[in-house]
Chains A and B, each alone.
Chain A
Amino acid sequence: MADNVDEDALYRIKEGDYVVLQRGDVFKAVQILPKKKVIFEKQWFFLDNAVGQLYGSTFDIVSGGTLQPRKPKDAESPADAKEAGTDNRNIQDDGKSQKLTRDDIENFKEQGLTDQEIIQQLVDNSSTFIGKTKYAQDKYIKKKKKKYENIVTILKPSCRILALMYHGREPGKICHLRYDTLAQMLTLANIHAGSKVLVFETCAGLLLGSVMERMGGYGSVIQMYPGGGPVRAGVESFGFPAHFHDTLHEFPVCHVNALLAGALDAAPEGPDSTQSDAAGGEEPKPPKTEPTSGPEEVKMETNSGADDVCDPEKEAREKRIEAKAEERKAKQEEKRRKLASAAALLEGRDADGLVIASRFHPSPVLMGLLKFLAPSRPFVVYSQYKEPLIECYTKLKEQGGTVNLRLADTWLRHYQVLPNRTHPVLLMSGGGGFLLSGTTVAADPPRPAGAQRAEEPAPKRLKVTDADG
């Protein structure tokens, strides 16, 4: 028993935790903060009472927005009606079957009736309920429950839940990357602990977080980011332990050409590199073609990049400016250090995997970043549209250096499974985007193809990736 108590401690909700709220199949990611008002599914409440409860608990939302742990399994359906009709030949839609009015229901609510009592009232006052078939009664109650039940479940975030959440709530922010497609990416790219993975994404950090979850804090992740800084809003929602962040590196794609040319000086003055222009004549420049990364993105980065700068009182303005300058300097130093460490990881061109999911044209991104992969490593490119992946495919075929190319998408169908009522769910997703996947290989023949008869191992060349430029 004693160890059970200990064990539970791991699964309790703590202040400051990132959690996911669930009601039905709607999710929302929030952080547990004291006295913070949360609005979810047209209800507002405070999360204070959730602290100390176990993850996965369901709460009733009572007046004043406080949460009360729901008692385990109170008698399920309010009316296990014994009576039921067999068909609907006598059911007329005259709009008068429900005798309660809107006002009555509002009254009930004010009187503090529980959701179940309200539903019972609705059932009792429905003249047609008894005539409905058992299945129709079931459906009726389910529908009412959905409307009147004031409950919320608090979950521990995971790649599955966050992917479901983003897809349901804000598909635009994640380039309409559906969760099953995300699942394919993680598997096709062989994401696992201990590898060195490159991630290029504009999916609010969902893909990055998913990769980090699969790596479990072992190995390294290098986020190749466009624009002024990496976007990681979604990564926070995963609530990773601090040491996970030590494995996360970042590298601006605007320095890719310089790095490839060996001309990257890890002491750039500002975020806008002048030397990448000078060095990168031979390559298309993904970041330059679309420099407008969206204003909100830039704002987010400045927040996440370092601690808040823009807050203190208005009086000590000068002091602030000074402090700001100091801070900027420190920030730049930090940025330089980060750039250098990421560059060091990339320079060996021995990364183990590459995943791309962005709103940029995938072709230049793929062609540029593929050069950092070791041979015999998988890569996966996502695009919401098929055509740019056709272009990638064609280019890779022309250029060589890859095998196993496959352009595919997945089709996802959910089923309702109930006694005598099993069928595919009526509404399904029209498309979850497309994936191009493949494996890198040594770019060109290991020089003279005669040396292999010798007993000693054939000459192994380490610089395999440089021939594909």
Chain B
Amino acid sequence: MSFVEYSDLIRDGDVAIVYLGHESMMHVKVKQGAQTQTRYGVIRHSSDLIGRRYGSKVTCSKGGWVYVLHPTPELWTVTLPHRTQILYTTDIATITMMLELKPGSVVCESGTGSGSLSHAILRSVAPTGHLHTVEFHQQRAEKAAEEFKEHGVDGLVTVRNQDVCKDGFGVSGVADAVFLDIPSPWEAVGHAKAAMKRHGGRVCSFSPCIEQVQRTCEALAEEGFEEISTLEVLLRVHDVRTVYLPLPDFGADVFAQARADGAETKPQTPVALKTTTPPREMQGHTGYLTFATKPRT
């Protein structure tokens, strides 16, 4: 297992995703002899996981069953241990495309946070790219580095424990793309520029508040960034279901009876309709995404 390469069989030391049911998943570190409790009973790693194929159905002790899935950055995002607020897949997808990430890209990111976006970046830039990620919170930085190692991607990433607004990214002139998710991104715009290739590249800043966006855009324009554009992407999940619409009873149809007197009025049955319903509540705002291009300097 690795987050950047599929494998067929579950091995000791892997991270596997246990699918318990609709919208309910958890990750497990696979370890010889270990057990994991679920609401369907216990999963014994040695017999239930190791050596089995990813995607298999595993029967738990109480007779319930779960599926064991190969980890992907998207599954990791919904099961990871939160140390901070995280970015979700809808924003991540947009960021990845608009930053033009692809195998070989060199990316700078700050802050690392819980590593939700980091895993997605690593997946996209592997096997020849690199991620330089900066986290000023020491414990979070250490935890992230540890996770990258467990996930088999530590060769692709460098974690630095420093303040990006003061000390920058620790590299200069190497990045194709820079991503900022910090409270005061405008203070890091200069460092972002310095980290990027002379030839140019793309930058993105994620901010929940419009005032932050305003200041960031001003800083970007001042530093000579071009194509500054702010957007917002929201996800709408549709719930597929069958609904039944009853028909009203208008009483006996006199004309119909006059025409065909044998016909009886049948009791009206509700009409079944396969449709989707919107979720009662949805995420109305995550953050504004501001993109810009650094021209060649």
List chain B residues, Cβ under 8 A from A458: 47-48, 51-52
- Asked if B234 lies at the interface with its beta carbon under 8 angstroms from chain A, I say yes
- Asked if B223 lies at the interface with its beta carbon under 8 angstroms from chain A, I say no
Q: Which of B88-96, B179-187, B251-259, B264-272 contacts A (4 or more CB under 8 A)?
A: B88-96
Q: Which of B124, B274, B288 counts the most A-chain CB atoms under 10 A from its CB?
A: B124
* Contact call B47/A441, Cβ cutoff below 8 A: no
Q: Which residue of A lies closest to B199 (CB)?
A: A11
The answer to whether A415 and B288 touch (CB under 8 A), given A158-B100, A195-B6, A408-B237, is yes
User: Using a CB-CB cutoff of 8 Å, which residues 128-182 of chain A contact chain B?
Assistant: 158-160, 163, 179-180, 182
List chain A residues, Cβ under 8 A from B94: 180, 183-184
Bound Cα distance from A237 to B244, whole angstroms: 49
- Asked if B37 lies at the interface with its beta carbon under 8 angstroms from chain A, I say no
Q: Mark B48-74, 1 if CB is under 8 A from A, else 0.
A: 101111111111000001011110111
Q: Which residue of A lies closest to B5 (CB)?
A: A194
- Asked if B165 lies at the interface with its beta carbon under 8 angstroms from chain A, I say no
User: Using a CB-CB cutoff of 8 Å, which residues 372-404 of chain A contact chain B?
Assistant: 374-378, 386, 390-391, 393-394, 403-404
- Asked if B36 lies at the interface with its beta carbon under 8 angstroms from chain A, I say no
Bound Cα distance from A377 to B210, whole angstroms: 38
Q: Mark B75-110, 1 if CB is under 8 A from A, else 0.
A: 000000000000001101110111010111000000
Bound Cα distance from A145 to B94, whole angstroms: 31
Contact of B46 among A158, A160, A455, A461 (CB under 8 A): A455
- Asked if A201 lies at the interface with its beta carbon under 8 angstroms from chain B, I say no
- Asked if A439 lies at the interface with its beta carbon under 8 angstroms from chain B, I say yes
- Asked if A345 lies at the interface with its beta carbon under 8 angstroms from chain B, I say no
- Asked if B8 lies at the interface with its beta carbon under 8 angstroms from chain A, I say yes
List chain A residues, Cβ under 8 A from B120: 187
List chain A residues, Cβ under 8 A from B275: 390
List chain A residues, Cβ under 8 A from B200: 56
List chain A residues, Cβ under 8 A from B288: 415
Q: Which of B130-138, B143-151, B188-196, B213-221 contacts A (4 or more CB under 8 A)?
A: B213-221
The answer to whether A464 and B97 touch (CB under 8 A), given A374-B8, A414-B229, is no
A391 to chain B, nearest CB (A): 8
* Contact call A186/B48, Cβ cutoff below 8 A: no
A271 to chain B, nearest CB (A): 33
- Asked if A411 lies at the interface with its beta carbon under 8 angstroms from chain B, I say yes
* Contact call A187/B93, Cβ cutoff below 8 A: yes
- Asked if A236 lies at the interface with its beta carbon under 8 angstroms from chain B, I say no
B41 to chain A, nearest CB (A): 12
Contact of B102 among A7, A214, A453 (CB under 8 A): A214
Bound Cα distance from A193 to B125, whole angstroms: 8
List chain B residues, Cβ under 8 A from A193: 4, 103, 126-127
Q: Which of A322-330, A332-340, A354-362, A444-452 contacts B (4 or more CB under 8 A)?
A: A444-452
The answer to whether A183 and B55 touch (CB under 8 A), given A54-B296, A407-B240, is no
* Contact call B47/A457, Cβ cutoff below 8 A: yes
* Contact call B296/A186, Cβ cutoff below 8 A: no
B260 to chain A, nearest CB (A): 36
* Contact call B295/A56, Cβ cutoff below 8 A: yes
- Asked if A192 lies at the interface with its beta carbon under 8 angstroms from chain B, I say yes
Q: Mark A405-428, 1 if CB is under 8 A from B, else 0.
A: 011111111110101001000000
List chain B residues, Cβ under 8 A from A7: 198-199
- Asked if A442 lies at the interface with its beta carbon under 8 angstroms from chain B, I say yes
- Asked if A278 lies at the interface with its beta carbon under 8 angstroms from chain B, I say no
- Asked if B276 lies at the interface with its beta carbon under 8 angstroms from chain A, I say yes
* Contact call A180/B230, Cβ cutoff below 8 A: no
User: Using a CB-CB cutoff of 8 Å, which residues 422-438 of chain A contact chain B?
Assistant: 422, 434
List chain B residues, Cβ under 8 A from A439: 19, 55, 69
B32 to chain A, nearest CB (A): 11
* Contact call B199/A8, Cβ cutoff below 8 A: yes
Contact of B59 among A182, A375, A449 (CB under 8 A): A449
The answer to whether A422 and B57 touch (CB under 8 A), given A186-B93, A190-B72, A216-B104, is no
Q: Which residue of B lies closest to A449 (CB)?
A: B59
B8 to chain A, nearest CB (A): 7
* Contact call B124/A192, Cβ cutoff below 8 A: yes
A77 to chain B, nearest CB (A): 14
Contact of B4 among A192, A409, A411 (CB under 8 A): A192
B143 to chain A, nearest CB (A): 24
* Contact call A410/B236, Cβ cutoff below 8 A: yes
- Asked if A440 lies at the interface with its beta carbon under 8 angstroms from chain B, I say yes
* Contact call B240/A160, Cβ cutoff below 8 A: no
Binding site for B on A (CB under 8 A): 4, 7-8, 10-11, 54, 56, 158-160, 163, 179-180, 182-184, 186-188, 190, 192-195, 213-218, 350, 352, 374-378, 386, 390-391, 393-394, 403-404, 406-415, 417, 419, 422, 434, 439-442, 444-446, 449, 452-458, 460-462, 464
Binding site for A on B (CB under 8 A): 4-6, 8-9, 19, 46-48, 50-59, 65, 67-70, 72-74, 89-90, 92-94, 96-98, 100, 102-104, 120, 123-124, 126-128, 198-200, 210, 213-214, 217-218, 228-238, 240, 274-276, 288, 290, 293, 295-296
Show 5 residue pairs from A and B whose CB-CB distance is below 8 angstroms, ordered by the A residue: A10-B199, A377-B6, A386-B238, A390-B274, A417-B217
Instruction: Given contacts A158-B100, A194-B127, list 8 more A-B pairs with CB under 8 A.
Output: A11-B296, A180-B94, A187-B96, A375-B53, A390-B275, A422-B210, A442-B57, A454-B47
